[in-house]
Chain A
Amino acid sequence: MIDWLVGRRRQPPEVAVLADGHELGAGMLRQLFIGQCLVLALHLIWMPAWLVGLALAVAIWRYFQLRQRVPRAGRLLRLGGVALLLGALWLQYGVLHDMDGLIGLLLGVYLLKLLETHNRRDARVVVVIGIIATSVAFLHEQGILMALGALMALAWLLQSLTRLAGAPDARCAWVEAGWLLLFSAPLMVVLFLAVPRLGPLWSMPQMDRASTGLSDQVSPGDIAQLSRSDARAFRVSFDGEEPATHERYWRVYTLSGTDGRRWFRAPPDELAATLGQSEGAFVREARRSPWVDEAAEAGRFRAELLLEPDSRPWLPSLGTPLASDSEQRYLADGTLERLTSQSSRSLLRLESSGAAPANADPAGDAWNSLLPSQVNPRTRALGEQLWQESGGDKRAFLAAIMAHFGESPFRYTLMPPRLGSRHRVDEFLFESRAGYCTHYASAAATLIRAAGIPARLVVGFLGGERHPDGYFTVRDYDAHAWVEVWLDGAWQRLDPTAAIAPERIELGPQAVEGGAEVFLADSPFSSLRLRELGWVNRLRLRWESLEYQWQRGVIGYQRATAREFMLGLGERLEAGYGWLSTYLRSALWRGAAWLGGTVLGLAGLTWLLRIGLHQRRWRNESDMLGYLRGRLVCLGLGPTSGETPAGHLLRVAPALGSVGAALRTIAEEYERLAYAPLNEAERSAGRRRLRQATKEIGRYLATPRYRARRAGAAGDDVAS
């Protein structure tokens, strides 16, 4: 795989750019190709596999071109390649302007670019596109594994760049790339934490994404798709009280409309249009639920939700949502919606009641007890009969319904027989008598409505896996449907599944007998299948908790979190400063600080002065000699023309009396330094002697005694 790209006629393959500075060597092309493979690998799970074929085709063409079997790719071939790419993407996605199509286009162009990569500039363009493609891969996923993969790709691309800049060998290139990454990592961390985050500046094409298969309409006949998948819907941790197992009813949608076969959700705008009311009667944007009296209900659960990216605006809430940390859409039916779709994971803090909403539905009782008249006649008859038997007591009526499910030979299964007739609820209640939550919930709701009592279906999740670290993971197979009944001025939760399979409520879907063959049918390699094996399960839990921390800490580091972090940092700094200032306010400390500061300042100043003088005067022998000669010239003892420096000093030595010996030393040392072959140690020793002698003379010339002598002997100067 590595060797086959080496060209035959080329010089050593390690040379990145050939001597002419233009043509790329085979080694460099191989580097670029491996970089492309790494970047492509980041995308491969989400993108079509034929991109690998494209990469190989381009590489093979380049290989044969290096061996001179085929010519350079002409414009026709390159345009043909692009056209082929566009065609394939169109076949794959149907449209080109959605996110997947655009990413495919970017990757395809990145791979095709190798065809026209001939010089250093082209190679750098390839690397830059590679970096962009790496960052686009974060749209798919931002987990730990993706981050590690991206880091690997980045390191490879960097070492390709060092090769292009002239690294002589692989070791040198890798060492440099490693140092660069290491040195820049702290900078990256500081910038990541400190740079303020902005909201989206303009809208971008979004990835069409559903984190769960949870649908806003259900039909008893459909296959239990959700139980087949272990995809994560959301994660949640609680601040304060945690809900017990049987309380974890996550409401997502209420389905209040039915045509007898299926139950569907009536969104606020449709509902408003149908009932002739304003939309504001059904939904409001706020941070606090406008439908619940603030004083009446205190939130029971405070949850921090880590939500998976989803292009639909649904939000789960444990019972009725009461307040959130950011503006959301509160619906009158006690559910919650996001303002915009979410392209990446996000954090949401939510306060909720844990119970069904207490406010009446503005759509009215009539809407919530509507049943199509021609459908499911036997069920309606049964409902009316049970209502008669209970003698108008609503609670007795509901108990009778639950008892009906418990007594008749109903069974809970994830693989129920398919229901095909027009009267599906009839077919289920009186013939097949096997099904899962959707079947029971829709049957119960139909029975209740038959008695004229308002009722609606609620879909959402039930349960969730608790991690040792204290957070819950809710997965697709936790999806559930139940009924809410308007009773005594509030909605009441009624879960008919509890009558059939109480273990589903307490232990989760995997506990239900008869569901084993369907449970996780679409995830054959899921590690969740191994949850019976102790150490595998522990390993899985540890990994998931690490992943959770990563997602919460790094990926969730968005606007609010960043602001909070910086505020916290600022507070801590302020607190530290306050502590320090109170501590230092005592007189003793202040005196010591002043003293220490002064001493330090003086020392620094002296040091700087010394350095300056040292550099100016005493750096090398010619500077020292120049200084000395300047002093001598001032005294009228300057050199005559043609005199060597040493000769000059020897000549004027007698005139300086007691330091004449020092002057002779200087002359001797200077000549030694200038002409003798000395090594570095000898040289610096000689300089030191020279420096000492020079300073001695400088001190002597500055003394008053010498000045007096000079003044007295001014007339008969020796040197003149």
Chain B
Amino acid sequence: MSTAKVGASVPGRRGASVPRGLRAWLGRRLTIAPGEPLPQRRLFLLPTRFGLVWIALVAVLLLFGVNYQNSLAYALAFWLAGLAVVVLVRTWRNLLGVTVELQLPREAFVGRESRLRVVIRAARPRTAIGLVLDVHGATLPRLETEATASLPWRTGQRGWQLPPTLRLETSWPLGLVRAVAWVQPTTELLVYPAPLEVAGPERRQLGEGLDATDFAGLRRFERGDSATRVAWKQWSRSGILTTKVFSVPPRQQLWLDYANCRGSPERRLSLLCARVLAHHRAGDRYGLRLPGLELPQGEGESQRRTALDALALFPAATEGADGE
């Protein structure tokens, strides 16, 4: 709400907000969502520079035919013109009806490269379809029914983020026109803060205590359990297949506290992020204290995920309020 007030007071900001609306409208008008076949109305044909050269070529050959009264030169010029028309349709059909699916990476950190997997399906074979995400691109030379590409992109900010718009383009078969379509991802990705490792006294040895050695009990066998962990004796006695469970002795019980870190809020979050990762690797039991939020101590994958989510979603607005 405060941003709206600032926007109203500064005239320059107001001007900038109109194109944003326009952009949103254009975004709705121009893009498709992943998973739906590319319709005609979201497919755009643009001439390439070579296409303009081709038009000039046809004109030159026509002039040549006119001035020398040369029928074959006429025929060649007309054939090139006909080719341009056919190419228009061929290029358009090369992209029409393609279905794009986006697979987000499992997790992403600010400033690190993460990869977006793009799965493309089509009923007919396609040729030379290019994918562009931000500045990185890939080309699928031949697409029979399904193809996959993995495109890198640099995540920008912490929190829920949409991946950038994916551009599909093709100038097959002659490069005279380019068919372009934009795919707007609909699923957001939670981007974690950039981990900031600091060498210091609190950095711990990560070697010992990792093995789960203390017998904790038995549980029902599940598929995938290691054969060495199966309690064969109990099975011979009772006929029920069970698995021995061992617990990892927590090496340390500790709290990661926002208040104990130094620096700007973002730096503190980065530090905390790095420590969450390190403690998780070490198998520690840790809790997280953020202003207005306390995550009880815990361990394992779910604790790591909860902690990282909390760091990613930690509101940046408080910082903005500090600035004011």
Contacts and interface: CB of A to CB of B under 8 A. Distances in A.
Contact of A558 (B71, B78, B128): B71
Nearest to B85: A187
B79 interface: yes
B44 interface: no
Interface stretch (B14-22, B59-67, B193-201, B294-302): B59-67
Given A131-B57, A188-B79, A180 B175 contact: no
A204 B174 contact: no
A142 B71 contact: yes
A685 to B, nearest CB: 21
Q: Does more than half of chain A's interface fall in helix, strand or loop, or is it mixed?
A: helix
Interface of A: 121, 124, 128, 131-132, 134-136, 138-139, 142, 146-147, 150, 154, 158, 161-162, 164-168, 172, 176-177, 179-181, 183-188, 191-192, 195, 197-204, 343-344, 346, 554-558
Nearest to A165: B175
14 contacts: A131-B80, A134-B76, A135-B72, A135-B76, A136-B64, A138-B70, A138-B76, A158-B83, A172-B142, A180-B87, A180-B174, A186-B82, A200-B66, A554-B72
Given A200-B69, A201-B66, A188 B174 contact: no
Nearest to B142: A168
Contacts of B173: 161-162, 165, 167, 176-177, 180
Given A180-B90, A558-B71, A161 B174 contact: yes
A176 B141 CA distance: 14
Contacts of B50: 121, 124
Q: Does more than half of chain B's interface fall in helix, strand or loop, or is it mixed?
A: helix
Contact of A200 (B61, B67, B75, B90): B67
B127 A555 contact: no
B174 A158 contact: yes
Given A150-B72, A180-B173, A180-B174, A187 B127 contact: no
A558 B60 CA distance: 19
Contacts of B71: 142, 344, 554-558
B255 interface: no
- Listed from nearest, the 4 A-B pairs whose CB atoms lie closest are A166-B128, A187-B82, A184-B82, A191-B78
B65 to A, nearest CB: 8
Contacts of B25: none
Interface string B141-155: 110000000000000
Contact of A164 (B54, B69, B79, B175): B175
B192 interface: no
A100 to B, nearest CB: 15
B67 A132 contact: no
Given A128-B53, A168-B141, A172-B142, A162 B76 contact: no
Contacts of B75: 188, 192, 554
B81 interface: yes
Contact of B57 (A128, A181, A556): A128
Given A131-B57, A135-B61, A150-B72, 4 more contacts: A136-B64, A168-B127, A191-B81, A200-B66
B82 A191 contact: yes
A204 B68 contact: yes
A165 B86 contact: no
Contact of A135 (B64, B82, B85, B90): B64
Contact of B82 (A136, A147, A161, A185): A185
B314 interface: no
A172 B70 contact: no
A154 B141 contact: no
Nearest to B68: A343
Contacts of B65: 135
A92 to B, nearest CB: 22
Given A184-B79, A188-B78, A139 B69 contact: no
Given A138-B72, A139-B68, A165 B174 contact: yes
